Structure 1
Amino acid sequence: MDKKKNKKLYIIRHGETDFNKDGIVQGRGVNSDLNATGIAQGEAFYKKYKNIPFDKLYTSTLKRTHQTVKDFINDGLVWEQLAGLDELAWGVYEGQKSNAALREAFVNLIQAWAAGHYDVKPEGGESPNEVYVRQAAAMNHITKQDHENTVLICMHGRAIRLLMCLLMKKPLSEMDTYPHQNTSLYVLNYDGEQFEIEVFNSLAHLEEQGL
């Protein structure tokens, strides 16, 4: 990426859905709604961070991200959807509830990625390399907006793991060193060339609300 203006990025995962609660694979191809817990998580995040002077909101194209940050949208925060922020597509696994065969297949994928095989993907789904390409395009768009100094981004779990590797210039094999929970927060500072993590996977907004 070309050198660009300093920024602060607040990156959160979407709130809980029934698919999360019930252990069902979502991915890019499942456009699920938040459940009551997820709505409360989004509201808790808004309550804690509503006074941050965000210049722009970016989300994926999936409604669970839109619903998580709906209070910011309702406040009139300028909002843009980027397909590059969508979750990794899990292909044939999407919509399946956790079972022994699925868990084994998932472990095999994670092990392949950890071993550096970033083109491996589930049938009908996406590889880490494919997600990386669309994320790089999305981040190039975000970082080149000189008038957007403080940015809120709402996206997805596996996508966040991959994005953190991209931003921190780490190999994708390290994706699982970046944990996440529903509405967990990473804050990163960007000096025009490098990103630095200021806040790592915070759930302070949920803890303060007893969630």
Structure 2
Amino acid sequence: MRPRTIFLLRHGQTDFNVRGIVQGSGVDSSLNDTGRRQAAQFFAAYGHVPFDKVYTSALRRTQESVQQFLDLGLPHEAHAGLNEISWGVREGTRITMEEDAEYRQVLAGWVAGDTHARLTGGESPEEVAARQRPFIELLKAREDEETVLVCMHGRAMRVMLCQLLNYPLSCMEGFEHSNLCLYKLEYTGSVFTIKNFLDVTHLQAVG
């Protein structure tokens, strides 16, 4: 089997991102003007790639980020398993490490290995990983899809990368992210490896 290529993309900017308001899986926001420009820049850089399939979460900010690829008629599937982590009762509110003791405590717990911890009403990384696993198995099984574009969310992407690369979830902070950043992976049929790490070169193009 020839190595397969997975483009793992975070969605573009939303007004919630700018304002520091938590979105999570319960806030179905749209891209703002900057996010739409980022999506156009990514398409300008990678619109020539012959993707066999485009996968997104069930939230519209991911589909809007790859809409120009979908407009080409590429096959598309939306999977709720790719949705962002649920931040529970904090969704739609502003959380900062400086101001929110519970948020700070939960994130510190994750780094320390307590990946079953969650904010009130929200999900733990372990729960996110569990709902991602059926998608990962589907992705592995579809050997005819040699080049795939997956658009998802920041925290969920960190969980996904830990799973694909066989890292404990406590290591997820090592996978930094920004709006419309790209992680490009190769899959040999047994092992995933990262070829591009936090790649934003497409956003730095002139014009």
TM-score category, normalised to shorter length: over 0.9
Q: Is 1:118 paired with 2:115? A: yes
Q: Is the 8 A contact 1:91 1:126 kept in 2?
A: yes
Q: Is 1:85 paired with 2:117? A: no
Judge which range, 179-188 or 137-146, deviates more. Answer: 137-146
Deviations 1:178-206 (A, max 9, x none): 00100000000001111010000100110
Deviations 1:24-63 (A, max 9, x none): 0000000001000000000000000001110000000000
- Unaligned runs of 5+ residues in structure 1 are none
Judge which range, 170-179 or 93-102, deviates more. Answer: 93-102
The amino acid across from 2:82 in the alignment is: L
Equivalent residue of 2:123, what SS?
coil
Q: Is 1:175 paired with 2:172? A: yes
Q: Percent identity?
A: 43
Shift of 1:137: 1.1
The amino acid across from 2:56 in the alignment is: T
Deviations 1:65-115 (A, max 9, x none): 010000001110100001111000000110002357753322211111111
Separation in 2, partners of 1:179, 1:124: 25
Q: Which 4+ residue blocks in structure 1 deviate beyond 3 angstroms?
A: 98-103
Identify which of 19, 22, 42 aligns with 2:39.
42
- Aligned residues between the structures: 207
The 5-angstrom pairing of residues 136-151 of structure 1 reads 136-151=133-148
Q: Is the 8 A contact 1:31 1:63 kept in 2?
A: yes
Q: Is the 8 A contact 2:2 2:188 kept in 1?
A: yes
Separation in 1, partners of 2:173, 2:81: 20
Note closer, same or farther for the CA distance 1:28–1:5 as it changes in structure 2 (3 Å cut).
Answer: farther
Note closer, same or farther for the CA distance 1:175–1:100 as it changes in structure 2 (3 Å cut).
Answer: closer
The 5-angstrom pairing of residues 7-156 of structure 1 reads 7-98=4-95, 103-156=100-153
Q: Is the 8 A contact 1:16 1:182 kept in 2?
A: yes
Note closer, same or farther for the CA distance 1:25–1:53 as it changes in structure 2 (3 Å cut).
Answer: same
Note closer, same or farther for the CA distance 1:100–1:51 as it changes in structure 2 (3 Å cut).
Answer: closer
The 5-angstrom pairing of residues 184-195 of structure 1 reads 184-195=181-192
Give the CA RMSD over aligned residues: 1.5
The amino acid across from 1:60 in the alignment is: S
Q: Is the 8 A contact 2:97 2:103 kept in 1?
A: no
Query: What is the TM-score normalised by the length of structure 2?
Result: 0.96
Q: Is the 8 A contact 1:91 1:122 kept in 2?
A: yes
